[in-house]
Copies of this chain bind each other. A is one copy, B any other.
Amino acid sequence: MNKSVACIGMGVIGCGWATHFAGQGIEVHAWDPDPKSEDLLKRTIEQAWPSMERLGLGENASPDLVFFHGRIEEAVESCSLVQESSPERLELKQELLSTIDKACDAECVIASSTSGYLVSDLSSDCEIAPERIVVGHPFNPVYLLPLVELVAGPKTSIEALNTAESLYKDSGKVVLRLEKEVDGFIADRLQEAMWREALHMVANGEATVEQLDLSITAGPGLRWALMGPMLTFHLAGGEGGMAHMLDHFGPSLKSPWTRLEAPELTQSLRNAVVDGCIEEAAGRSIADLVLERDRGLTAILKTLKDLGNEFSEKEQNCE
C-alpha cells in the first residue's frame, strides 16, 4: 500500500505531524495558504530531529520526505491519509474537508486534528464519502507525544477507522479509539477539568500560577507519565487496591476539594472502576505495581536530575 500522507494546514500541529511522519520514513505532501509555513516546518524539523534520532528514526527517515504543493488538490492526490490541521474555526474546517473529500482518492481516509469539533459537525459539507471522515487528535509536540485520539462520527465506517488506526500505529503512534462521539474526547476532558479548577483558584486568590504548576510537577505529575489517575488510586488503596480505596474514601467525594461535583458512587460505578483497574493491572499484584511505579519514578527523577531540572530554583520563586 502507498503510505504517503497529506498534511493540510501547516501551523504548529501540522508541522508537528509532517515532522513525525518524515521521521518515520513516510512521504508527506503539505499544503498551507501561508508561504511562511515552509519556514516553520524547517525550524520544527531542525529542532525535533535530534530528539527523534535519540528515540529511534524509522527506515529511510529524512527531512526531504516533505513536499510542499501550491494547490490543496495536488497535495492530497494519491495519499492514503489526509491529516487536516487548520485553525480551530468550524466553517474553515468544513470547507477544507469538503474540498479534500472531492479531490482525494476513493480509498483515502481523511482525519482532522481538531481538539474540539465532532466528526458530525466537521463532515456536514462532505458529499462524496463522509464515512471516511474521522478525528485524529494529536498532542503537542506531535513528533514526541505518542497519543492520538481516533474518534468516529455517526456515519464513520469501521473500515475508515481500521485504516486510520493501522496507519497511525505503523507510524509509531499510540491510538485511543473512540467509537462514539464525546465532547472533548477523553484527554482534553480530564485536562480541562484540572485547568478550570486551576483558573477558579487563581480567580479566588487561592493559589498562584507558580504554586499550581509546582503542585503538579513536584507531586502527582511525576506519577502520571507512568500510571494514569485510575491506576494511581488503585495503588493508594494499599493491598486492597481500588476496591478498598472506593469503599473507604468514597465519602471524600462529597468533600469540597474541587468545584466539580462527583457522581453518585453507585454499586455499579464502584464495580466498573474496580473491575477496570483489575483488568488494566492484567495480573500484576499491588506489590508488583508498587515496584514498577518506584522503578519508573526513580528513573524519571534521575533523568530530571541529570538534566539539571532540580526543584530548588523553581521552589525559591514560589514563596
Question: Which A residues have a C-beta under 8 Å from some C-beta of B?
Answer: 11-12, 47-48, 51, 54-55, 88, 116, 139-141, 144-147, 149, 174-178, 182-203, 206-231, 233, 235-236, 238, 249, 252-253, 255-266, 269, 272-273, 275-277, 279-280, 282, 290-291, 293-307, 309, 311, 315, 317-319
Contact = CB atoms under 8 A, between A and B. Distances in A.
B196 A253 contact: yes
B257 A228 contact: no
A300 B303 contact: yes
Given A149-B215, A295-B51, A297-B51, A209 B279 contact: yes
B231 A213 contact: yes
Given A215-B176, A307-B296, A273 B209 contact: yes
12 contacts: A144-B294, A144-B301, A189-B197, A199-B253, A199-B269, A202-B269, A202-B273, A209-B272, A209-B273, A221-B221, A225-B225, A300-B303
Nearest to A54: B298
A304 B296 CA distance: 7
A224 B194 CA distance: 12
A300 B141 CA distance: 14
Nearest to A293: B141
Determine the main DSSP class of A at the interface with B: helix
Contacts of A201: 182, 186, 189
B317 A257 contact: no
Contacts of A276: 202, 208-210
Given A213-B280, A307-B296, A199 B263 contact: yes
Contacts of A230: 198, 209, 212-213
Contacts of A214: 147, 174, 176, 228
A212 B215 CA distance: 21
Contacts of A149: 215
Nearest to A50: B298
Contacts of A272: 202-203, 209
A98 to B, nearest CB: 24
Contacts of A259: 193, 260-261
A91 to B, nearest CB: 15
Nearest to A264: B203
Given A174-B311, A193-B197, A213-B280, 8 more contacts: A187-B216, A194-B194, A209-B275, A209-B279, A214-B228, A221-B225, A224-B225, A226-B309
Given A218-B145, A218-B147, A299 B294 contact: no
Contacts of A224: 216-217, 220-222, 224-225
B216 A228 contact: yes
A145 B201 CA distance: 24
A263 B203 contact: yes
A260 B147 contact: no
B146 A304 contact: no
B258 A187 contact: no
A210 B194 CA distance: 19
A116 to B, nearest CB: 6
